[in-house]
Amino acid sequence: MDENVFSKPHLVKKEVNLILENWIRTLNIKLGWIPDFDKLVVKYAKYFQLLKRLQENEHKIKSVKFSPDCRKIILSSGKTIEIWDIKMEKQIKIFKGHSSVIYTAEFSPDECTIISCSEDKTIRLWDIETNKEIMRFKGHLQPIWCAHFFPDGNTIVSGSMDSTILLWDVNSGKQIQQLIGHKAAIKNITFSPDEKMLVSSSYDNTIIIWDVKTYNILKHLKGHMSFVMHAEFSPDMQFVVSCSADKTIRIWNVESGEEFKKFEGHSNVIQKVRYFPDGQTIISCSTDSTIRWWDVKSGYEIQKLEGHLDLVKGIDVSYDGNFVVSCSYDKTVRFWG
């Protein structure tokens, strides 16, 4: 990622000391109790500070994602989709047409098209160059909470409050497959890095891993005590991380389907959790208005990022892992690095 997009200050000694004090207080240990503790602090202490803050004055922001080149972001706010240039801190595109709240919006793999889904029960594709809607998909019976391109850009997968997952052909606009397994609303769906599996999270408190080729259920992960808000694969595909309204983050072994680790610290619903590209850390955001950065191996909270004044709805991590973007019901987008 182009570092010039952000003006990234260095931590001063006082700030490093504050992070050290937070770690010691959180872990309730002495420095010598963890091997190479000081090396871990040096590694992590350079992260994360607030770099930029963008204000969206009209509506709560439901989702935010980096563009593939990480020079822009796309966000959904009310009934509109907006593209912002990060360096210029300026909105450069806006898309309107949905008749109700938009839950998610993201770029296609080639960055020529946008996909969005809404409470109006439609999925829509938009041409970025012309700002016009180019295709509309209808089939779900209730609001659609997530819609994503397959990595090849030719297929779409969507999840709805009607508890179904649908696959669509981009060229024809037709539904090509229905995945049935969950018993309540589908909150989110993500791909494995090798594109051979899907993982879905649901309000039935479970997670399902699907085989993309056969559409069979590979594993049904159970353990959360409330709605599962998000789930995704680790970069090496050995694990799935999930977050829930039960205020926990859990990591699951893909092969065995067993829970591997549980993280606790948030005081309210955890809206989203993401792996960093190296797979060694994860980051989460919550209704408690905080963002938290965690070490996967130890399970410890590395840092708590505060600043948002309301529920933090979404986060995304740049492809190099150096930057994080967050969005909130406080109507702001914040960049951390």
Q: What is the CATH number of the domain that holds 114?
A: 2.130.10.10
Does residue 16 fall inside a structural domain? no
Q: What is the pLDDT at residue 58?
A: 82
Does residue 15 fall inside a structural domain? no
Specify the number of domains making up the chain: 1
Does residue 3 fall inside a structural domain? no
| pLDDT at 218 > cutoff 90 | yes
**pLDDT tens-digit readout, 289-298:** 999 999 999 9
What's the pLDDT band for 27 if we cut at 50, 70, 90?
A: very low
As a three-state string, the secondary structure of the chain is CCHHHCCCCCCCHHHHHHHHHHHHHHHCCCHHHCCCHHHHHHHHHCCCCEEEEEECCCCCEEEEEECCCCCEEEEEECCEEEEEECCCCEEEEEEECCCCCEEEEEECCCCCEEEEEECCCEEEEEECCCCEEEEEEECCCCCEEEEEECCCCCEEEEEECCCCEEEEECCCCCEEEEECCCCCCEEEEEECCCCCEEEEEECCCEEEEEECCCCCEEEEEECCCCCEEEEEECCCCCEEEEEECCCEEEEEECCCCCEEEEEECCCCCEEEEEECCCCCEEEEEECCCCEEEEECCCCCEEEEECCCCCCEEEEEECCCCCCEEEEECCCEEEEEC
| pLDDT at 238 > cutoff 90 | yes
**pLDDT tens-digit readout, 51-64:** 999 987 789 999 99
Q: What is the pLDDT at residue 194?
A: 93
State which residues form the domain around 57.
47-336
Q: What is the pLDDT at residue 124?
A: 98
| pLDDT at 231 > cutoff 80 | yes
Query: Among residues of the chain, what percentage have pLDDT more than 70?
Result: 86
| pLDDT at 239 > cutoff 60 | yes
Does residue 279 fall inside a structural domain? yes
Does residue 8 fall inside a structural domain? no
| pLDDT at 319 > cutoff 60 | yes
Does residue 40 fall inside a structural domain? no
**pLDDT tens-digit readout, 89-107:** 999 999 999 999 999 999 9
What's the pLDDT band for 12 if we cut at 50, 70, 90?
A: very low
| pLDDT at 4 > cutoff 90 | no
**pLDDT tens-digit readout, 119-137:** 999 999 999 999 999 999 9
Does residue 42 fall inside a structural domain? no
**pLDDT tens-digit readout, 174-205:** 999 999 999 999 999 999 999 999 999 999 99
Does residue 137 fall inside a structural domain? yes
The mean pLDDT value of the chain amounts to 90
What's the pLDDT band for 2 if we cut at 50, 70, 90?
A: low
Q: What is the pLDDT at residue 276?
A: 98
